[in-house]
Amino acid sequence: METRITDGRINIRGNIAVREKPKKADYVLYLNAHTPIAIVEAKDNNHTVSFGLQQAITYATMMDIPFAYSSNGDAFYEHDFLTGQERQIALDEFPSPAELQARYYGEIHEGKGLTEKEKAVQQQPYFTSQKTYTPRYYQRNAVNRAVEAIARGEKRLLLVLATGTGKTYVAFQTCYRLLSSGMVKKILYLADRNNLVDQSIQQDFAPLEKVIHKVNFAKDNPTTVTSYQIYFSLYQQLSDREDEQDEGDDPVSRLASLFRPDFFDLIIVDECHRGSAKKDSNWRKILEYFSSAAQIGMTATPKETSYISNIDYFGDPIYTYSLKNGIEDGFLAPFKVINVKTNIGEGWRPYDGQRDIYGNVIPDRIYSNSDYDYNIVIQDRITEVAREITTYLKSTDRMQKTIVFCATEEHAERMRIALVNCNADMVHKNPDYVVRITGSDTYGKSKLIYFISASAPYPVIATTSKLLSTGTDCKMVKLIVLDQMISSMTEFKQTLGRGTRIREKEGKLSFVVMDFRNVTHLFADPEWDGPIKQDDNYDPNREGSGPNYPPEPPETPVDPPVLTEKPIVDENGCSVFILGKTVSVYDTNGKLLRQESITDYTKSNILGHYASLDAFIRQWSAEKKKQAIRNLLLERGIDLEAMKKEQHMEDVDDFDFICHVAYDRKPLTRKERANNVKKRDFLSRYSGVAREVLEALLDKYMNLGIYEIEKAEILKLDPFTKYGKPAKIASYFGGKDEYLKAIHELESEIYGEAG
C-alpha cells in the first residue's frame, strides 16, 4: 500500500499557491508500529529489476530506513545501508520480518549495534489519540534519534528543526516514550517566556496534563513538588526572577532550596539558541547545576559565533530538518517578498537649521533606514508605511493575520496609531483590529492568545518589536512586515518563521514578506541555509567579558529603551512617498528565482498565448471562451480579481483589464460598456418581456460581470423570476436557441467597440 512521505511542495505562481504531487513510497515495512525498516519501490517488468532502487534509496534516506528494495515483478534488488552493499535476490528469497530484524539488531552481520536499552525504548509506542496526529517522517526520525541516544547514555543532544515543523510535538513524543519505558522519571522543560510554557502545556503536552507541574517557588516546597513527572519552568523563576528578564542573578541557591542536583533525569531546553548558547549566562548555570541529567537543546537556529556556541555545549546536531527541507516537502509555507522603497530610503538630510516638532535643531547629518525610529522619527514615513500595508490588505484580504515588526516599542505604538487611522472602518467594527503586542504592553500581551489562534478573528494586525520574533506559534499569519533593522541571521530566520506554518483547511498555503528596510538582502548571505558548524574562531576558553567581548542581545528579547531626546519630524518637515515596489521569489536555498511585478508576469503570460490584440479579441468573442481564458490564467497563478483590487479597478471588465495590462489599451468600466449598449439601437430590436430581460441582464453585467449573464441559472434569480421559469422566459425569444442567440448578440454588442 502506498505511503505518503511528504505533502507535496507548494509553488507560488503569480499570486496563487499551488501544490505539487506528494512523494509516495509504494511499500513501507515496519519493525514495529513506529519503526520503519524497509522500503520497496515497484515497477512493471518493462523496467530492469533495479530501476526503482535510486528512488527507494532517496526515500529510505529521508526516513532513516536501513533497507531499500526495488522490484519489477521478476526479482528484487536490495540496498543495505548498514553494510553499504547491493545485491539481486529472487522473489522467494525476500527477507522475512525476523531476518530483517536480526540484521537490523546486528544478530546477523554488522547491524546497527543497538544496546539492550535502545532496543527496549525502541519498542515504546508513540502517543496516539483521535486528537493527536501521526508523526511525520522527520519528526519520527528526530524522536527515534533522541530516545536512542539517551538510551546509549549520551548526555548532551542538539535537535535542529525549522520553525513550524513541530519542535514541541517532538519534545512531547520523546518525553512520552522515555517515561513509558521507565528510562527517565523526572523531566524539566525550560523556556524563557510564559506564553511558550503555557502554549506547550495547553497544546502538545496536553495528554500528560495529570503528571505536569508548572514550577512556582512562591507555593512549591521540596515535599509537595516531588509527585509529578514533567516540570515546566521559566528559567527566570529558577533564578529568583518573576519577570521575563535576566539581570544576572545567581540561580544555584534558589534551585538548591527546591531541587537536588540529581532530581531530574532529562532536561528539554526550548529555543536553546538564546540563553544557553552563552557560556556565562544563567541558562548555563541552571544546566550545569543539573549536569547529571541528559539535556536536549531544541532550536530552529543554533547560535554559532566567535563568542558563543550551541555546539560547544550540546555537540553537533543529532538531527537537522531545515526550512529548506520543510518547504521542499510541502510541510512549510513558501513565501514571496515585496521590497518597498521610499524616497528617503537611501538617505535624508535636514536643511540647515531645521527644527523638529519640539523646536530643537535636528543634528545635521544623513539619516537612513538604520536611523528611522531608532535615532529619529519621521512621522510621514510611519504614515506611508501604514498606508502601503493597508493598500495591500485591501487588495487581498483585510482579515489576514499580519505582524508588523517595528524598531522599538515606541515605534510599534506609533505604527499602531497610523494603522488604526488608515483602517478606521475596520477598527469601527472591532477596536482590536490593530493591537500593539510588546513586552511592556499588558493589554497587548493579553490579546496574544487570540492573535495566534486559528479561529479567533481578532486581533488582525499586531505591531511589535521583539516579542513575536521567536517561539510564538502564529498559525495564520499571512503577511510579515519588516520595518526594523535585522542584522543577525538567527533573528532573520526566526522572524520569517512566524509565517511558515501551513493551515490548508483555513486557506493558508503561503505568506508574503513586505520589506521596508532591505532586510531581505540576507537571503544572499551564505549562512541563510548553509551547513550548521561551529565558528572557526570560537574559543571555548575565552572569558565571557572584557573589552574585546562584544555585547550580546538580551537572553529574552527586550525592546531597547526609548530615547526621549530623539528628534521627531512631522509631515511638514519631511514628506515621504513610495518610489517603487519589487516582487521577488526565492528558492529554498535563498537564491533569487525571479524578480518581477505581478503585472509584468501577467502580461508575459497573456502575450505568450495571444501574440496580438486581434488574436485575443477573436478568442474572447468566441462562445464559451471567456471562462476558459480566465481559467487558463488561474492555472498560471494569475487571479484577475485580486489584481484588479490591488489596482483599484474592480469595476473594470476582465476583458478591459487584460487589454490594459497586455496591450496598453485604455480600459472602460462595465458601467461605461453597458451605457454604450443602451445608447445604441440594439435593445430596440426586442420588445415586451424579451427587452425587459435583456435590460435586466445588462444591469447584471454592470454589477457582476460577463460570466454571470452567461449562466442559465441566472434566470432563476430576481428580477427574472417574475417572468416565469427559464423555459417560459426563453419562449419570449422564440425558444432556447433564440434566447442563446440573443445572449451572444448582447455580448458582441457589449464588446462592440473593443477594437
- Residue 287's nearest CA partner among 350, 358, 235 is 235
**Is residue 577 in a domain?**
no
Task: Please give the pLDDT value at position 356.
Answer: 94
Q: Residue 721: its pLDDT value, please?
A: 87
Residue 82 lies in a domain: yes
How far is 501 from 10, CA to CA, in rounded Å?
12
526 & 414 share domain: yes
Residue 741 in any domain: the answer is: yes
Q: What pLDDT is attached to residue 562?
A: 45
Domain boundary, last residue among 524, 552, 569: 569
d(C-alpha 12, C-alpha 510), whole Å:
8
Element (H, E) at 584: strand 578-586
106 and 122 assigned to the same domain? no
Last residue of a domain, which of 667, 695, 726? 667
Asked if residue 585 is part of any domain, the answer here is: no
Which residues have CB under 8 Å from 657's CB, separation 6+?
A: 640, 643, 644, 649, 667
Check if the beta carbon of residue 212 is closer than 8 Å to that of residue 232. yes
User: By C-alpha distance, which of 83, 539, 507 is closest to 312?
Assistant: 539
Same domain, 315 and 381: no
Cell of 411: 515605534
List C-alpha distances in Å: 227 to 265, 464, 603. 15, 40, 68
Domain CATH code at residue 54? 3.90.1570.30
Q: What is the spatial distance between Cα 734 and Cα 265, in angstroms, rounded to a whole number? A: 87
395 shares a domain with 524:
yes
pLDDT for residue 711: 77
454 and 536 part of one domain: yes
* Domain identity same for 206 and 294: yes
> Count of domains in the chain?
5
Which neighbouring-strand residues pair with 158?
297
Single-letter code of the amino acid located at 122: Q
Residue 227 lies in a domain: yes
Question: What pLDDT is attached to residue 233?
Answer: 86
- The whole-angstrom separation of Cα 280 and Cα 308 is 10
Same domain, 137 and 151: yes
- Quick check: helix, strand or coil at residue 660? helix
Q: Which of 92, 113, 134 is the last residue of a domain?
A: 113
Q: Given this model, what pLDDT does residue 159 score? A: 94
In a domain, 586, yes or no: no
| Inside any domain, residue 326 | no
Q: Are residues 109 and 147 both part of a single domain? A: no
Spell out, as residue ranges, where the chain has pLDDT lower than 70: 1, 14-15, 107-113, 236-253, 275-281, 305-306, 469-471, 529-531, 533-564, 587-601, 605, 621-627, 631-639, 646, 753-755
Q: Same domain for 547 and 607?
A: no
- DSSP character string of 4-64: E-----EEEETTEEEEPPPPEESEEEEEETTEEEEEEEE--TTS-TTTTHHHHHHHHHHHT
| Residues of the domain holding 165 | 118-321
Q: What does pTM read for this prediction?
A: 0.74
- Are residue 502 and residue 624 in the same domain, yes or no? no
**49 and 193 housed in the same domain:** no
Helices 654-663 and 613-621 cross at an angle (nearest 10°) of 160
Cα(126)–Cα(181) distance, integer angstroms: 11
The per-residue DSSP string of 456-489 comes to -----EEEESSTTSSS---TTEEEEEEES----H
Residue 292 identity (one-letter amino acid):
S
pLDDT in tens, 259-311: 899 999 999 998 887 766 566 667 778 888 899 999 999 988 877 766 777 88
Place of cell 472591532: 430
Residue 367 maps to which CATH number?
A: 3.40.50.300
Q: Quick check: is 576 in a domain?
A: no
Whether residues 211 and 351 fall in one domain: no
Give the per-residue pLDDT at 244.
Answer: 40
